[in-house]
Chains A and B, each alone.
Chain A
């Protein structure tokens, strides 16, 4: 062979050897057999470390086990752990997955990577229809959810220990829904608000209740994300803006049978976070007015008076 083997060639031969072997092989056996490793001991050790890292980074289940009298480590890749099971997809189903990966933008190339393994990319470009960016933490959360491993992560400056019961995307955000062990309660966490790494515990650490629906536990309406006791707020809204308000308030809002005035309507909604509701209602400018309770109305008026007086800016 005139040319020295390339790194790609060396790694592929390493993988072929590790998959083909019937027993775990020592590093020295491996570098002796596979072409392309340097002869010098520190150099081949470093090269072997890099190659292992490359394989594991791609998801190759490279395992180590003690061999002989246990004083040496051996390496192998068990084919059953390596091989993708046959999904039994027919041509139409495979095509449907290709279309989905092209049509939905997730902000990563992982979908294309999956398609390559399933036999190829989309035949032609498909117009994108949805963008649902996946936060980096989400793949780890998904693996924890799949294997029923408890996760630990920092969310809004607090360390959480959570049994991941489900993942869901609502209003363009991905959420982890799970049982927060410290708070002893079900909680939803926006995945893009998780800071730093997610730590995974042992698999099969909990049971998810049957028929659990994560989307039932995600509240994207900010005015219901408070710890205050719920109060019923009554808002008068101009008729032109009623549909918009109702579409945002959701099905819990009640339109009162008003006095026949067709220029405006009164809407009732439960609020547990008054500040968030103030933001919501100010979004309607002068087309909406908080009627009751008096404290909520006074809060909006006080806020507006401060703005009207000229905010002092950053103080």
Chain B
């Protein structure tokens, strides 16, 4: 184990806490503890350590002085060398800037507000270069965020890619967030009578119902885009080397590598349409081997699409025989 892992966080906290207390004499202990994410007991331990810090020749006046008054307010003196916190590491500077730029990129943020001026000061003082963060803005995002903020029950027209159908649903939108490059809304869906996650870019319209809802105890978390459910179908896929990325890209429940380098994986699948798309995309590099009723899923989907191209037999004929169908010049 690295020594950093043992002592690092405690040292870093003390190095941040001392300058703050120096700059804010007689601050109440509970406030200090809350700021630094610790309990008052931990703060007392930290302060006991601070009393032991000094420089040569280590006479009484060379140690940091911690004064703890009868009201529980703390003052630190004689901490000349710890008067400022340690500069930010590259990772810390990046994290601060990235979080700030991301939040500022969320539609509706004030481009001239305190966050914007804070980031400008940060970049200026620390000579940090600018970061550009784009989180997109699907058409119905503003309406959905408004519904979340005011706890409005709304009716949405939603294209479910998984089932490939456009449905109208009443939802109680609880949370909205950006993850894996898309905006999602987590909501109680009255049609499904359960919580569901919807992709905001697939919401075609948002209509008010005039009703409000009480927030439920939801389990949505940012990044929690798909959580396998107990009743999802477990599908076994054979993946050739060109399709091996699937095992990394989706939460698989089992992966077996075979001698020839191919993989057999088990995936929890809630929507057949999703699996259809995946298998169509992978083509000859993948095959569903279980359960039996899904073995022909991809082939059936391919035949369905081929019909649009002019025949299930694959004959390439113009799909529409209209004279202006822009398929001129082909048989």
Contacts and interface: CB of A to CB of B under 8 A. Distances in A.
A binds B: yes
A53 B164 CA distance: 56
Nearest to A92: B114
B322 interface: yes
Given A169-B133, A289-B308, A99 B103 contact: yes
15 contacts: A15-B15, A58-B89, A121-B37, A128-B222, A129-B176, A132-B135, A139-B94, A146-B127, A169-B101, A259-B322, A285-B276, A291-B327, A292-B326, A313-B238, A313-B286
B95 A101 contact: yes
Contacts of B262: 313-314
Q: Is the interface of A mostly helix, strand, loop or mixed?
A: helix
Contact of A305 (B2, B101, B182, B314): B314
A145 interface: yes
What 10 pairs across the A-B complex have the smallest Cβ distances? A172-B181, A120-B35, A314-B262, A93-B118, A83-B84, A128-B222, A110-B95, A313-B287, A114-B92, A96-B115
A282 to B, nearest CB: 4
Contact of A17 (B4, B56, B280, B324): B56
A315 B240 contact: yes
Given A50-B3, A111-B96, A129 B81 contact: no
A116 interface: yes
A313 B99 CA distance: 44
Nearest to A13: B53
Q: Which of A108, A167, A292 has the most CB of B within 10 A?
A: A167
B88 A54 contact: no
Interface residues of A, number: 123
Given A85-B125, A315-B240, A142 B90 contact: yes
Interface of B: 2-4, 6-8, 10-17, 20, 34-37, 49, 52-56, 80-96, 98-104, 106, 113-115, 117-119, 121-122, 125-136, 138-139, 159, 161, 164, 166, 175-182, 201-202, 204, 221-223, 238-241, 258, 260-263, 273, 276-277, 279-281, 283-287, 289, 296, 298-299, 301-309, 312, 314, 316, 319-320, 322, 324, 326-327, 330
B34 A130 contact: no
Contacts of A93: 114-115, 117-118, 121
B240 to A, nearest CB: 4
Given A57-B8, A89-B121, A106 B223 contact: no
A41 interface: no
B243 to A, nearest CB: 8
Interface in A79-116: 79, 81-90, 92-97, 99-101, 103-106, 108, 110-116
B12 A314 contact: no
Nearest to B326: A291
